[in-house]
Structure 1
Amino acid sequence: MSLSREALPSRRPPAVGARKAVLEWFTAAHDYEWMREFQNSHRSGKVIRLLIALSMINISVMSFISLFADGGPSGAAATIWTLTLCITNLIIAALWLLLPFPGRLGVVLFAVYADLGITSALVLMELGNALLGCVLFAVIGGFVTFFVSPRWLVLHLVFASAAVLGIAGALYLQGRTDTLNLLVRTNVVLLAIMSVPITSHIFLTTLSADARSSVLDPLTGLLNRRGLTTAIEDLLPQGQRNGWCAAVVVVDIDNFKSVNDIYGHDEGDAVICRVAERLTAHVSRYGVVGRTGGEEYLAAVVTSRLHIDALIHGVRRALHGANDAIPVTVSIGAAILYAESDLWTDSADPVGTATRVADSMMYEAKAAGGNRVVTTLI
């Protein structure tokens, strides 16, 4: 029995699929802002900053000790540069402890500094010790695996590999090291530097994309109900502990069905996105925003008692544009909690209670004709 050409298994699609996956990974936009916000809002962010700071302190201590070790930096210039790096590392460690997790510029500059700093310290050492010290690039590789884009990761790996091969080549030219032994040591160092980062980065990029998509509204990019639940549960109690005033604000577009009926669903989607962008611009400095339904949004904010009313009542004006091709109005309901509100202690679920009250206030605004704000203290 013969098999037709179509029945024969094809080997090309998997390879093409693999190449496409790698290309998509390499060219994908890296969401530094999402990473920064996640690290600064999640409890693990403090632990990560602490670990980075401890790593910098450890490298500083080891660099200082190397000044007194055989094969370490020698001479006035090398000693001064090593001490400069030690002090700089300690300052950077302090910044990691004291400041919030940085955005794109901060993490990229840190990765570049780390690569250049390690290389400049290694070239001052005896070449055999320098080759062993190249394993420090694996430490930086762990950082770039988690916090920078694929392009910066590849650049780091190319730079680190070039440094290792350069030091190994210099050792070979000295002629004082067994070639096979040098080959093995170089291979071990390269494996330590190269083996994990790319595979891990591809996996983590895919995982984080799936995680974000599970908590984000696909149309507007705002948090969905699931994402909002976690964000609000962290935000509002934090505001209460710091003595701030908190509020849950529910926003609903008035008569949205008529927008879809008259202008079509594409224009309706454009209206939903426009409202999402303006609401985010108005309140994102003070909290989080999400889309909880077709034309309904929810924001949770924390700010001063003097500012909270102005912030909430300013939402209606912020969402209206006199020159909008499709003008819309909104009904807004808000539940405001002072830091001393009894709800924090008397309710088993103060966040859920505030959300339900805000929702009922929104329906009061809509029942009264819409295009208005109704608030209440709870």
Structure 2
Amino acid sequence: MADGSGSAPGPDAPPPGPVGRSRGRRSMYRQNLAVAEAKRILRSTGRFVALSCLLLAAGSVLLMYTPGGPTGTAARIATGVVAAAAVVAAALWWVRGWPRERTSVAFVLAAEVGHGIVLFCCADPVVSLLAATWFFLLGDYLTFAHGRRALVAHCVWVKANLLFYGVRALLEPGADVPFVVFLVVGLTATLIVTRLFGQVFSDALRSDSARSAELAHRDPMTQLLNRRGLEAAAPRVFAQARSERAVIAVFLVDIDRFKVVNDRHGHDAGDAVLRLLAARLDASVRKYGLVARTGGEEFVVLDRVHADGIASMAERLRAVSHHPDDPVPVTVSVGAVGLAGDDFPSADPGVLLTNLIIRADTAMYAAKQRGGDQVVLDLPRTAALERTDGGATMARSPDEIFDSVMAARSGRDRRAERRPDQGS
């Protein structure tokens, strides 16, 4: 993985793996939330958790007025504290929505311990068993958010509580043994067996959903993101750049005279060129950057960079695209555009991405008009021409780029102008 300054892979570098470049394996929690966000149910499920916290608070208060519930000052104070904490948690969930993973784990542990305290405060163990049904809500949360391992640990904790209060109930004078046994068995089936079955079913559905989403967001030839995948992943990069006040850069990389490659060497060779270029671009971008194939021989790179690093990164992308030992040497034209995090408009991320790609595409076309194998930067103000080894980096204002491109097109269709057999 390149860190932004590493060398390019050699001509025999393998293409990206079956799911493109590894960005680090996401935890089950983040995977599950990503699926929920894709289904547009993330916000509503957060509100459901808030309501569940309110139900737990209400149940704890009602227990204090239930025969066999918490008795004594200490027990009632402890139950009241748990109820108050549940109300605070409900407010946070309603206002802030889903937290970070560590915060979620802390919430689960607090809920497990808090409800355990409420059960322990009940004077009658049978009431404790009946109140244990509230563990069902926590099991739902773990099934949805944290997955199988967390649910198994929860089920062990629930079973320990059922056995503890079941034994206590059996040791009570005049205990109704059949009823207590029936209650423990029934709660085991409800709180544990059905939860585990639901987890298996949920895992199967999520796996299919995640696999379908992955396939829908990947280019089958290069295994890079496609346009849909880029649009889905870009908001995260935009949000990070905005929070860090970094510069977001979009680079549009287009192979020069690609039609000649297909005509002279065949489509199999052309496909090999695309896969090799995809691997090199992918390896040249930092861990959290994005690389996508958005057209036949067109690639988009999206990454956070230093304010003065756009030109150097664009030149690096141009340079890694060519190697003297390649079976079919090619060159590329690169258009680049940068936007500071402080200047981000409040527009929809999809609209922002589209506008940046259009500007980068216009700059790339200007590079092709100069013979290709060049970089053109779309900068807010006019800058001097910078010469680099093997190519040229042009830094010009958006108006200059637009005017020159429109003059070059002379009313002709853009795609016709870029046909390789016309020397673009």
TM-score range, shorter chain: 0.5 to 0.7
Compute the displacement of 1:147 (Å).
1.1
Alpha-carbon distance in 1 for matches of 2:288, 2:332: 15
> Which letter does structure 1 place at the counterpart of 2:216?
V
Compute the displacement of 1:50 (Å).
1.4
Answer whether contact 2:318 2:333 (CA < 8 A) is retained. no
Secondary structure of the 1:298 match is strand
Answer whether contact 2:318 2:375 (CA < 8 A) is retained. no
1:330–1:112 CA distance, 2 compared to 1 (3 A)? farther
What's the counterpart of residue 65 of structure 1? 62
Secondary structure of the 1:123 match is helix
What's the counterpart of residue 375 of structure 2? 372
Secondary structure of the 2:202 match is helix
Secondary structure of the 1:177 match is coil
Does residue 116 of structure 2 align to residue 119 of structure 1?
Answer: yes
Secondary structure of the 2:121 match is coil
* Correspondent of 1:80 among 77, 80, 96: 77
1:267–1:78 CA distance, 2 compared to 1 (3 A)? farther
Alpha-carbon distance in 2 for matches of 1:39, 1:320: 38
Secondary structure of the 1:109 match is helix
Secondary structure of the 2:252 match is strand
What's the counterpart of residue 148 of structure 1? 146
* Correspondent of 1:190 among 185, 188, 191: 188
Secondary structure of the 1:64 match is helix
Compute the displacement of 1:144 (Å).
0.9
> Which letter does structure 2 place at the counterpart of 1:129?
V
What's the counterpart of residue 179 of structure 2? 181
What's the counterpart of residue 204 of structure 2? 203
Does residue 156 of structure 2 align to residue 158 of structure 1?
Answer: yes
What's the counterpart of residue 47 of structure 2? 50
Give the TM-score, by structure 2 length. Answer: 0.60
CA-to-aligned-CA distance 1:51-74 (integer Å, 9 cap, x gap): 111211221122123222222211
Alpha-carbon distance in 2 for matches of 1:356, 1:292: 12
Compute the displacement of 1:232 (Å).
6.3
CA-to-aligned-CA distance 1:173-206 (integer Å, 9 cap, x gap): 2253322222222222222213143323332342
Compute the displacement of 1:156 (Å).
1.5
Answer whether contact 2:293 2:299 (CA < 8 A) is retained. yes
> Which letter does structure 1 place at the counterpart of 2:120?
V
> Which letter does structure 2 place at the counterpart of 1:83?
G
Larger Rg: 2
What's the counterpart of residue 314 of structure 2? 316
Q: Which of 1 and 2 has higher RCO (CA within 8 Å, sep 6+)?
A: 2
> Which letter does structure 2 place at the counterpart of 1:199?
V
Q: Note the residue ranges of structure 1 that are not aligned, 5 or more in a row.
A: 1-27, 240-244, 258-264
* Correspondent of 2:133 among 132, 135, 157: 135
CA-to-aligned-CA distance 1:310-358 (integer Å, 9 cap, x gap): 6865742675899xx99999643357899889xx9xxxx9976775664
1:268–1:169 CA distance, 2 compared to 1 (3 A)? farther
> Which letter does structure 2 place at the counterpart of 1:202?
D
Compute the displacement of 1:299 (Å).
5.3
Alpha-carbon distance in 2 for matches of 1:100, 1:317: 42
* Correspondent of 2:107 among 98, 110, 133: 110
CA-to-aligned-CA distance 1:161-183 (integer Å, 9 cap, x gap): 22222222221222533222222
- State percent identity of aligned pairs: 26
Count the aligned residue pairs. 331
Answer whether contact 2:314 2:336 (CA < 8 A) is retained. no
Compute the displacement of 1:130 (Å).
1.3
Compute the displacement of 1:275 (Å).
3.3
Does residue 93 of structure 2 align to residue 96 of structure 1?
Answer: yes
Higher helix content, 1 or 2: 1
Between 133-142 and 222-231, report the one with greater CA deviation: 222-231
1:161–1:205 CA distance, 2 compared to 1 (3 A)? farther
Alpha-carbon distance in 1 for matches of 2:34, 2:134: 28
Secondary structure of the 1:61 match is helix
What's the counterpart of residue 227 of structure 1? 229
Compute the displacement of 1:289 (Å).
5.5
What's the counterpart of residue 394 of structure 2? none
Does residue 273 of structure 2 align to residue 276 of structure 1?
Answer: no
Q: Note the residue ranges of structure 2 that are not aligned, 5 or more in a row.
A: 1-24, 242-246, 262-270, 379-397, 403-424
CA-to-aligned-CA distance 1:209-240 (integer Å, 9 cap, x gap): 3234223438987533333355669999xx9x
> Which letter does structure 2 place at the counterpart of 1:223?
L
Give the TM-score, by structure 1 length. Answer: 0.66
Answer whether contact 1:333 1:361 (CA < 8 A) is retained. yes
Answer whether contact 1:60 1:85 (CA < 8 A) is retained. yes
Answer whether contact 2:336 2:364 (CA < 8 A) is retained. yes
CA-to-aligned-CA distance 1:126-154 (integer Å, 9 cap, x gap): 21121112222211111111111322222
| TM-align CA RMSD | 4.9
Alpha-carbon distance in 2 for matches of 1:83, 1:329: 71
> Which letter does structure 2 place at the counterpart of 1:163?
N
1:317–1:132 CA distance, 2 compared to 1 (3 A)? farther
Alpha-carbon distance in 2 for matches of 1:371, 1:91: 58
Secondary structure of the 1:135 match is helix
